[in-house]
Amino acid sequence: MHWLDNVAWNEDGLIPAIAQDAASGRVLMVAWMNREALQLTAARQTATYWSRSRNKLWHKGEESGHVQVVKEIRLDCDGDVVILQVEQQGGIACHTGRESCFYRVLAQEGDAPQWEIRDAVLKDPTHIYSKGSGHE
Amino acid sequence: MHWLDNVAWNEDGLIPAIAQDAASGRVLMVAWMNREALQLTAARQTATYWSRSRNKLWHKGEESGHVQVVKEIRLDCDGDVVILQVEQQGGIACHTGRESCFYRVLAQEGDAPQWEIRDAVLKDPTHIYSKGSGHE
C-alpha cells in the first residue's frame, strides 16, 4: 500500500499537522495538509501545508524565511493526524512573531477564566512579512 | 467576552485538542472538543473530549482508568486549536495500549517510504477495555 493511502484524509482531503520543535519539544503550530503537501514535506524535508484561507499550497517560510526543517514524521493510530519534528529556522513559527502559536494560557482572573498572553513577540510581524499579508 | 467565545469552533462546533505530556513533552494524542467538553475540561481539570464516532462526550479514562489530569490549557493564534499539558494516568494514552497514539514513523524502506511501528505496546488493550469497545 502506498504510504499516502494509509492516511485517513477528511472529507476535504485534509489532515491536521502538528509541528513540534525537535529540540525543546515545544508545540509550535498546527496547520493542514492535503496529499500533495504531505508528499512534498516528505520529499523536501521542509514543511509544506495547505492554506485553507488562500486555497493553495503553503511552503512554510516562503515569505518569512521561517522554514521548518523536518527531522521526523509520525502518524497517529487513526491515521488522521501527523506530527512533524522540526528545526524552526529563525526560532519563530507564529505569524504574530512569537516562537509558538500557542501563546495564550487559560488563567483564572477574578470570577471568570480568561485567555492570557504569556509569550513575548520576538520580532515585529511587519518586519517578517514584507508584503504585509500577515499569514505568509 | 466569555472565554469560550474566543474559541473559533468549526462548522460542526468542534476544535482539535492536543494532549501533551507535561513532564516529557511527548505529544500523546489529538481528539476533538465541543464547547461543553472544553468547559468540563477546564472545570474538572481532567480531559473530556467529544467522540465523533459515538457522538457523545468522552471523559478520557472513564473506562480505561487512563485519566488525563490537566495542568494547563493553551489556545493558538487563530483560536481554533487547544493544547493541554497533562499528567497521563497509567502512562498510556492510546487505545492500542501504547504511551502515545503517534507510534508510527515514516521510514525509507527499499524504494518507497512506509509507516513503521516504533513504540511498544505497554498493556494489552483487551485488558484495558473490559467491555471490549476498543475506543473507551
Separation CA A102–CA A100 (nearest Å)? 5
Looking at residue B86, its pLDDT comes to 98
For residue B115, tell me if it sits in a domain: no
> Which residues of A fall below an 8 Å CB-CB distance to B?
2-3, 6, 16, 18, 20, 24-27, 29-30, 42, 72-78, 81, 83, 94-96, 98, 101-106, 112-115
pLDDT mean values, one per 10 residues, chain B (136 residues): 96 98 98 98 97 96 94 98 98 96 91 93 87 54
Q: CATH number, domain at A16?
A: 3.10.20.810
ipTM: 0.94
Q: Are the Cβ atoms of B25 and A25 closer than 8 angstroms?
A: yes
- In a domain? residue B74: yes
Report the DSSP pairing between strands B15-21 and B82-88: parallel
End-to-end CA distance of chain A: 35
- Would A23 be classed as within a structural domain? yes
- Please write the tens of the pLDDT for every residue from B82-100: 999 999 999 999 999 999 9
**What is the tally of structural domains in chain A?**
1
pLDDT tens per residue, range A111-125: 789 999 999 999 999
Q: How far is A126 from chain B (nearest CA, A)?
A: 16
B5 labeled binding residue: no
- Average pLDDT of the residues in A25-33: 98
Report if residue B43 sits inside a domain.
yes
Q: Is residue B38 part of a domain?
A: yes
Interchain proximity A115–B20, CB inside 8 Å: no
- A14 assigned to some structural domain: yes
Element (H, E) at B84: strand B82-88
Residue B108 falls inside a structural domain: no
- Res A28 pLDDT > 70: yes
Q: What pLDDT was estimated at residue B121?
A: 97
Residues of B near A (CB-CB distance < 8 A)?
2-3, 6, 16, 18, 20, 24-27, 29-30, 42, 72-78, 81, 83, 94-96, 98, 101-106, 112-115
Instruction: Give the CA radius of gyration of chain A.
Output: 16
Write down the pLDDT at residue A130.
65
Residue A65's domain spans which residues?
3-96
Query: Strands (DSSP E) along A80-134, which ranges?
Result: 82-88, 104-109, 112-117
Query: Would residue B22 count as lying in a domain?
Result: yes
A chain contacts of residue B103, beta-carbon cutoff 8 Å: 74, 77
pLDDT of residue A112: 84
Comparing C-alpha atoms, which of A51, A11, A77 is closest to residue B30? Answer: A77
